């Protein structure tokens, strides 16, 4: 199934029930007073975050969602039944915008989080409500108000700790297969990955992080070229980027350093936050070089890139170096979390 990470839907809350105009009519009661009951409240519409689904594909089919209307009031001061609220399930990580106003309504980042997107209509009042000392037989009622209707744009941003970036065929899918139980499609042609894959990487007891395999990026991605900006947005929530680069491309026309700078440029053009996000260089496919050739090839690549950040050498297909990489990522997260905890503690003192 093709990954769908954006959709528009229309939601309509239930209308409030109308108030009732009624007078008591019983045997031996010549002039019964007003006994019209209020209407019932309409149902509201909520979006509820879940981990049971990871796409917005269902919203390409079902685009309209409406909550139940409130029932009208009745005689004998009977209040109408309120309409049931409607819960619409969306993937965790969904951002909700109002199409008509451009307003950001909310961001569903936690499982079970509920966001009201359409307010229920208020109930109408029965004529009993208008009885007074000077008006013993009111014939006035009010109508229930209409429920709120909105046109919403849903945008899904994957929630992951680590994002894998690189050109098509850099080995991102192979790496996530090696480190987690995720089984993305792997093949020897570009754009094998058509939608992001998530994998939980276990490092030790109670030590794990979530890794996202983002489809390959090409020059012009920030303007929608290739698989476009719909996948760049998924990198915004990550804590760390692993930039995979092929040390020994089979195609001699491929220049790893040039591709590296191209992706670096696209990240900066899409978002300033992405350009300053922590990023490690991961040199992949070292198994294609003899051991005595690796140091020289590594140094040549680093000199060409001008890279002075963390560097890891791996072979995603054989697993060489992948465990060391996962442990380093886990240690980095623990270090950052510890610093954040210390800073928060110092601010409360």
Both 290 and 186 in one domain: the answer is yes
pLDDT tens digit sequence for 30-42: 778 999 999 999 9
Do 81 and 190 lie in one domain? The reply is no
pTM: 0.70
Let me know whether 203 and 148 are in one domain: no
Query: CA torsion angle for 241, 246, 252, 253 (degrees, to 10)?
Result: -10
> What residues does 89 pair with on adjacent strands?
48
Distance CA 109, CA 23 (A): 52
Read off the CATH number of the domain in which 103 is found: 2.70.210.12
Q: What is the pLDDT of residue 199?
A: 82
Bridge partners (DSSP) of residue 282 are 244, 312
Domain contains 19: yes
d(Cα 166, Cα 233) in Å, to the nearest integer? 15
- pLDDT score of 44: 98
**Residue 204 domain flag:** yes
User: Are 297 and 248 a contacting pair, CB within 8 Å?
Assistant: yes
What pLDDT, on the 0 to 100 scale, is given for residue 244?
A: 93
What local confidence, expressed as pLDDT, does residue 222 receive? 39
- Would you say residue 181 lies in a domain? yes
Verify that 109 and 132 share a domain, yes or no: yes
Q: Tell me: the pLDDT tens digits for 58-68? A: 888 889 999 99
Q: What is the pLDDT of residues 8-27, one digit of tens each?
A: 999 999 999 999 999 998 88
Query: Looking at the structure, do residues 116 and 265 belong to the same domain, yes or no?
Result: no
Q: Which two tokens stand for residue 253?
A: 């026309």
pLDDT of residue 57 exceeding 90: no
Query: Could you tell me which residue, 283 or 237, shows the higher pLDDT?
Result: 283
So what's the pLDDT on residue 183?
62
Percent of the chain with pLDDT strictly greater than 70: 87
Q: Which among 134, 156, 178 is the end of a domain?
A: 156
Query: Looking at 126, 156, 186, which one is the last position of a domain?
Result: 156
Burial of residue 133 (CB within 10 Å: 0-12, 13-18, 19+) is exposed
- Domain tally, the chain: 2
Find out whether 45 and 96 touch, Cβ atoms under 8 Å: no
What is the residue whose two structure tokens read 């060489």? 320
- Shared domain check, 167 and 151: no
Looking at the DSSP bridge assignments, the partners of residue 165 are 243
- Domain of residue 262, residue span: 162-348
Same domain, 215 and 139: no
Our measurement of the distance from residue 178's CA atom to the centroid of its chain's CA atoms, rounded to an integer in Å, reads 25
- Would residue 1 count as lying in a domain? no
pLDDT given for residue 112 in this prediction: 95
Report the distance separating Cα 158 and Cα 237, nearest Å.
7
**208 Cβ neighbours under 8 A, 6+ residues apart:** 200, 201, 202, 330
The rounded Cα 310 to chain-centroid distance in angstroms is 29
Number of H helices, E strands in the chain: 6, 14
For residue 34, is it within any domain?
Answer: yes
Shared domain for 45 and 91, answered yes or no, is yes
210 and 169 in a common domain: yes
- Does some domain include residue 232? yes
The pLDDT of residue 3 is above 50: no
DSSP three-state, residue 155 = strand
Which tokens hold the place of 259?
Answer: 């591709």
Residue 239's CB: how many other CB atoms inside 10 A?
Answer: 17
Q: What is the DSSP letter of 173?
A: H
Is the pLDDT assigned to residue 204 strictly greater than 60? Answer: yes
Residues 287 and 151 in one domain: no
* pLDDT bucket at 254, cuts 50 / 70 / 90: low
The pLDDT, as a whole number, for residue 171 is 83
Residue 169, domain member (yes or no): yes
Minimum mean pLDDT range among 60-69, 117-126, 218-227, 283-292: 218-227
Residue 185 lies in a domain: yes
pLDDT higher than threshold 70 for residue 72: yes
Clarify whether residues 186 and 274 are in a common domain: yes
Domain identity same for 172 and 306: yes
* 290-316 per-position pLDDT tens digit: 999 999 989 988 999 889 899 999 999
């Amino acid at each position: 199934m093709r990954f769908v990470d954006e959709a528009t839907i229309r939601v309509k809350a239930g209308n409030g029930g109308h108030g009732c105009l009624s007078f008591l009519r019983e045997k031996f009661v010549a002039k019964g007073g007003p006994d019209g009951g209020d209407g019932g409240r309409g149902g509201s519409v909520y979006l509820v975050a879940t981990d049971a689904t990871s796409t917005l594909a269902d919203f390409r089919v079902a685009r309209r969602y409406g909550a139940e209307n409130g029932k009208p009031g009745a005689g004998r001061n009977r209040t109408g039944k309120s309409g049931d609220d409607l819960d619409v399930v969306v993937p965790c990580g969904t951002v909700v915008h109002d199409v008509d106003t451009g307003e950001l309504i909310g961001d569903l980042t936690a499982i079970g989080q509920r966001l009201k997107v359409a307010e229920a209509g208020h109930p109408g009042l029965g004529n009993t409500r208008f009885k007074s000392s000077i008006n013993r037989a009111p014939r006035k009622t009010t109508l229930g108000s209409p429920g709120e209707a909105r046109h919403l744009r849903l945008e899904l941003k994957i929630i992951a700790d680590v994002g894998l970036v690189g050109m098509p065929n850099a080995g991102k899918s192979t790496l996530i297969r090696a480190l987690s139980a995720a089984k993305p499609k792997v093949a020897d042609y570009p754009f094998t990955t058509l939608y992001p894959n998530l994998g939980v990487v276990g490092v030790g007891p109670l030590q794990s992080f979530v890794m996202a395999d983002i489809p390959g990026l090409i020059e012009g991605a920030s303007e929608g070229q290739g698989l476009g900006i719909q996948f760049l947005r998924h990198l915004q929530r990550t804590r760390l980027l692993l930039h995979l680069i092929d040390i020994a491309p089979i195609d001699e026309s491929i220049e790893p350093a040039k591709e590296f700078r191209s992706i670096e440029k696209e990240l900066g053009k899409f978002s300033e936050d992405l350009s300053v996000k922590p990023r490690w260089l991961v040199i992949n496919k070292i198994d294609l070089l003899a051991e005595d050739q690796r140091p020289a090839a590594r140094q040549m690549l680093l000199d060409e890139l001008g890279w002075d950040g963390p560097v890891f050498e791996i072979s995603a297909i054989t697993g060489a170096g992948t465990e060391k990489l996962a442990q380093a990522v886990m240690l980095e997260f623990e270090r950052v979390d510890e610093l954040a905890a210390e800073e928060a503690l110092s601010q409360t003192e």
